[in-house]
Amino acid sequence: MQDQHAWSGRFSEPVSELVKHYTASIGFDYRLAEVDIEGSLAHAAMLNRSGVLSDADLESIRRGMADIRDEIRAGKLEWSVDLEDVHMNIERRLTDRIGDAGKRLHTGRSRNDQVATDIRLWLRGEIDATVHLFGELQKSLLDLAEQHADTVMPGFTHLQVAQPVTFGHHLLAYVEMLARDAERMQDCRKRVNRLPLGAAALAGTTYPIDRHYTAQLLGFDDVCHNSLDAVSDRDFAIEFTAAASLAMIHLSRLSEELILWMSPRVGFIDIADRFCTGSSIMPQKKNPDVPELVRGKSGRVVGHLIALITLMKAQPLAYNKDNQEDKEPLFDTVDTLQTTLRIYADMMRGVTVKPEAMRAAVLQGYATATDLADYLVKKGLPFRDSHEVVALAVRHAEGLGVDLADLPLAKLREFSALIEDDVFDVLTPEGSLAQRDHVGGTAPAQVKVQIARHRGRLS
C-alpha cells in the first residue's frame, strides 16, 4: 500500500517487517501522547492567528484532539506500528476523524521540531514532579533527624571510628545532598523550557509563524534561537540524566550505610519489615532489599547517562534518527528516580534507631581522643605534642580494654600534668558534641538550627 506512511510517496516498495519494527518508536513514545496533543493545539492556534489556518479548521482540530485525548485516557486508542510513532498515530487518527483539517495541522512543522518540543514539555513536568519528591524525602529525613538531634553515634573516616557525631547530623548530610540535587534539576529546567517548534525539519519554515506566541501558549520561557540546534541537540536530556545520576549516587551512598547499620554486626538501626524480605532457605534472615536495589539501580541510571551522551557523540547537524534513542533511557531515568524517591521517603519513616548500640560503638573507638588533644592545646600544649600525649594514653587504655573516660584522673595526669578534673567534660561523647558548636557543626544545638533552616526552605 503506497499510502501506508505519510512519507511513502517516493518509495517503490514498503519497508521490510523487520525494518518497520526496528525503526518504529510507538512502542515507547506513546508516553508523549498528551504533550504531543498540547503542542499540536498550540501550533494550530498560532497558525490560525498568523492567518495560515482557518477558524473552522482550528475548531475542528480542537474538537478532534479533545476526542482523541479522551480515547487515549480511556485506553481505547490502538497504537499502530505501521504509523511508526506517536506523532503520526495521532495525526492519522485526527485526519480519520476530521478530514482535511487534520491534514493541515502539520503545516510549517516537522516531526523533528515536534518531537523535540514534546520531550521538553514532558521533561519539564517530570522535573517539577521530581523536585516535589526530593522535598518529600528531605522532610522524612528531617523528621528522623529531629528525633535524633542529640543521639550520639560514631562518625567515621576510612570506616574507622573517628569522632562522635549525632545521628541527626549524619542524616542532615543527606538532606544537604538532596537539596543540591533538587537545585540542579531546577537549574536544568531553565534550559529544558525553551521552544524548538518553528525550526521545522532543520531550516525553519516559509510560513509567517509567530514562535513567541507558541512559546507563550505552552509556557516556555523562550524560543530556541537556532533552528539547526533546536531540532538536533539533546543536551537538556543529558543534563537531566546527569543530575538524576548524581541523585541516585547519593541515594546509593545512603543505602550502603543503611545496609551496614542494619547488619547484626553493627546493629545501629532496624528497617521495618515492609521494606525487607526473607530468605527462601535461611529462616533467620531479614534482608534490606530496598536499599540494596537502590544501590543496584543507581548503576542503571548512570548507564542511561552514558547511553545518552554517547548518542550525541559524532552526530552531524541537524536531526538524525539516532535521536529517537533518547526516549527509553530518559523515561527509565525518570521512572527509576521517582519511584526510588517515593519509596525512600516512606522507608525512612520505617527506620528504628538503636541509640545504645551507637553509643557503645563510640565508646569502643576512642572517639574522643581528638577532644583530649584539643583540651591540652587549649591549656597551652602545642598540638603535635598533645597528639603524642593522647596517643600514649589511648595505647594505655587500649591495653586495659577501657575507654579514656574510664581512666582515673591520677593516671591521666601521668601523661600530662595539664590534665585536671574538668577533662571529663570533654571525654564523654556528649561533651565532645557540645563543643562543636558552630555553623555546620555536630552540636545538638547546631543540628536543630539546620533542621529549622531546612524546614523553612522546604515549606
Angle at 391 between CA 388 and CA 395, to 5 degrees: 145
How long is the chain? 459
324 binds ligand ARG (CB under 6 A): yes
Judged by CB under 6 A, which of 112, 138, 151, 298 binds ligand ARG? 112
Binds ligand ARG by CB under 6 A, chosen from 43, 111, 148, 211: 111
Residue with smaller CB distance to ligand ARG, 228 or 360:
228
Taking the least distance from each CB to ligand ARG, the nearer of 25 and 214 is 25
Compute and round to an integer the Cα radius of gyration of the chain. Answer: 31
Report the C-alpha gap between 348 and 272 in whole angstroms.
9
Considering the complex, state which of residue 85 and residue 403 has its C-beta at the smaller distance from ligand ARG: 85
Stretch that binds ligand ARG, among 65-73, 107-115, 255-263, 369-377 (CB under 6 A): 107-115
Pick 14 or 267: Cβ nearer ligand ARG: 14
| Shortest distance in whole angstroms from residue 342 CB to ligand ARG | 28
CB-nearer residue toward ligand ARG: 176 or 322: 322
Under the binding rule (CB under 6 A), the answer on residue 227 touching ligand ARG is no
Residue 452 is placed in which grid cell? 529549622
> What mask, x for binding ligand ARG by CB under 6 A, covers residues 393 to 422?
------------------------------
Tell me: does residue 117 bind ligand ARG (CB under 6 A).
no
Among 323, 386, 416, 432, binds ligand ARG (CB under 6 A): 323
> Which set of grid coordinates corresponds to residue 453?
533552616
Please state the three-class secondary structure of 99-145 as a single string: CHHHHHCCCCCCHHHHHHHHHHHHHHHHHHHHHHHHHHHHHHHHHHH
Here the cell at position 17 is: 517487517
In the complex, what is the shortest distance from the CB of residue 11 to ligand ARG, in angstroms, rounded to a whole number? 14
Residue type, 334: V
Q: Smallest distance, Å, CB 324 to ligand ARG?
A: 4
Which of 37, 46, 83, 115 touches ligand ARG (CB under 6 A)? 115
Q: Are 308 and 238 in contact (CB under 8 A)?
A: yes
The runs of H, that is alpha helices, within 219-354 are: 227-232, 235-262, 289-312, 327-348
Of 10-18, 42-50, 319-327, 343-351, the segment contacting ligand ARG by CB under 6 A is 319-327
Q: Binding of ligand ARG at residue 36 (CB under 6 A)?
A: no
Q: How do strand 152-157 and strand 160-166 relate by DSSP bridges?
A: antiparallel
CB of 323 to ligand ARG, least distance (A): 5
Residue 148 interacts with ligand ARG (CB under 6 A): yes or no: no
Count, residues near ligand ARG per rule CB under 6 A: 9
Catalytic positions are 158, 279
Contacts for 438-446: CB closer than 8 Å, 24+ residues apart = 442/155, 442/164, 442/165, 442/166, 442/169, 444/149, 444/150, 444/166, 444/168, 446/169
> Is residue 321 part of the contact set for ligand ARG (CB under 6 A)?
yes
Q: Using the rule CB under 6 A, is 252 a contact of ligand ARG?
A: no
Q: Rank residues 321 and 438 by Cβ distance to ligand ARG and give the closer one.
A: 321
Beta-bridged to residue 154, according to DSSP, are 164
Stretch that binds ligand ARG, among 124-132, 202-210, 318-326, 406-414 (CB under 6 A): 318-326
For residue 192, the minimal CB distance to ligand ARG (Å) is 17
DSSP per-residue codes, 249-286: HHHHHHHHHHHHHHSTTT-SEEE-GGG-B--SS-TT--
| In the complex, minimum distance from the CB of residue 29 to ligand ARG, in angstroms, rounded to a whole number | 6
- Whether the upstream peptide bond of residue 199 has omega within 30° of 0, thus cis, is no
The stretch near ligand ARG (CB under 6 A) out of 66-74, 287-295, 320-328, 372-380 is 320-328
Q: Which residues of 257-291 are buried (b: 16+ CB within 10 A; e: fewer)?
A: bbbbbbeeeeebbbbeeebbeeeeeeeeeeebebb
Distance (Å, rounded) from C-alpha 79 to C-alpha 30? Answer: 8
Element (H, E) at 155: strand 152-157
Angle of CA points 230, 83, 310, to nearest 5°: 40
Q: Which helix (H) or strand (E) holds 164?
A: strand 160-166
Among 36, 85, 181, 403, binds ligand ARG (CB under 6 A): 85
Closer Cβ to ligand ARG, 313 or 321, answer by number: 321
> Of the two residues 25 and 241, which places its CB atom closer to ligand ARG in the complex?
25
Rounded CA separation 332/308 (Å): 12
Find the part of the chain contacting ligand ARG (CB under 6 A) among 108-116, 364-372, 382-390, 394-402.
Answer: 108-116
Binding residues for ligand ARG (CB under 6 A): 25, 29, 85, 111-112, 115, 321, 323-324
